[in-house]
Structure 1
Amino acid sequence: MDDLRYTRRIVGRHNGSGRSVETPTTPRPVTTRGPVKQAATVVFAFCAALSFVGVHLVDPSIGATAGPDRPTIDRFGGAEAQAIEVGGDFTIGASKEQYAVEAKPAYVEPASTSASDGWAPPAVTPDPGSAQAYAATAVAARGWAMTEFDCLVALWNKESGWRVNAYNAGSGAYGIPQALPGSKMASAGADWETNAGTQIEWGLGYVQGRYGTPCGAWAHSESVGWY
């Protein structure tokens, strides 16, 4: 038979005919258990070694322990957490255990004297003539010629008609010099809403600082429509 091995031996007995007979021993099946077990062991050992090498190639810090030849790897430079700003709009706060994303607070427009914040001009009776008389004295006190006063009259006639409570609801400009916003004139006096003299002093200071003289401001206004 093909799948069995036989061992032939001569048995010292006779079958009655005077001849010796041959008796086969018990057959033993062929097995491959030994080689298969060895091959499986080799494959398992190879896979285990490959997994160990792969983990350390991906992240060498895994399994690392502190020591003279292998220092501890710290991803945060010794700090418990760090903040990362993204695109100027978000901040990512990352720690060793977790992370969180926070949006920056929305910008809030500062308060100003304008129609949008509900401010309204006070109920006063303007006196353009008295305002111009005060302005003539203030211009002379600054050493300017009367021609500068003439330019100032033309400028503020155009802006406000010399009315102390002139108010532009669209822009928030207020007063004889049309300060924008009107609350800027508080630097000249707390009564900036109703006092023509306070408004004129602030307006002359603005004109001098920006254009040098009233005629310089008037030339700019005629050129571009504002000063």
Structure 2
Amino acid sequence: MTRTTPEAPSTTTPTPVPTTRRQALDTPSRRVRRALRSRSGLVVGGAAAVALVGGLATVGTQPALGEAIGIPSASATSTPALHGSDLDRAQAAATIATARTVLADANDKTDTRALERQVAALSDYRGMSGSAITTRIASTVDAATQVADASASQDKADADAAAAAAAQAQAEAEAAAAAERAAAEAAAAAERQAAANTVGGAKATASSMAASQYGWGSAQFQCLDNLWTKESGWNYQAVNPNGGATGIPQALPGSKMGTVAADWRTNATTQITWGLQYISAAYGTPCAAWAHSQATNFY
């Protein structure tokens, strides 16, 4: 019988791919800040340099730290244990590395001077006693925690301010666009009004309104043209010096036309609207009004 030896399982661990927003945001910088806030033990930024195991410390995969404390870095098959002064120095070096990570990541507006002083003070750990190192590590972690928290608050404040500024800029842009549209519409309306106030424009308006609103055809408009040519020459600014009759239809007083609109002094269309109403109510048709004007010299 042939014995088959099972293959050993692969020791290679695939690199995890973030599958959630929480995992995607789990950056080294965020982990440092969370670890600093917890203060539950020694915090190491970036790749772990020191691991506490059963009260001892081992140097991990960061060669610079091992060289800094005079102990070779661990290989895949050996991990030397640290204790005593070596452990104190390893903890000091790891704390400095963490603090420098916090400094590098800090918001530019955050005051980091206290943490920088703590790092500088702890950097002399090779000549310190164990108790002095422990005290300065604690002070450095406290300062790093304060900087990390202040930086996070400033990051949020900056983001809020940027969002508010963007919203304000958007509102101002929309207001400016609305003002520009309103100005363009007002200019177009003024241009249309100016055209309507000309003799030709006034006649075109009167002809259209006479046909659409009163059913008066070209014959009646001819009578209307004769009548208002005699009265005002179709001049919306005409004023009779003898009695004060005003506008195209020569209303007396001119304020009568205010029953149509308040712009009766400047708007030929308002004057024409009132004039056609008056003719319809008083004479029935423009030709009847024209006949009366010919007989009496007024209507």
TM-score range, shorter chain: 0.3 to 0.5
TM-score when normalising by structure 1:
0.44
The higher radius of gyration belongs to: 1
- TM-score, normalization by structure 2: 0.34
Larger helix fraction of residues: 2
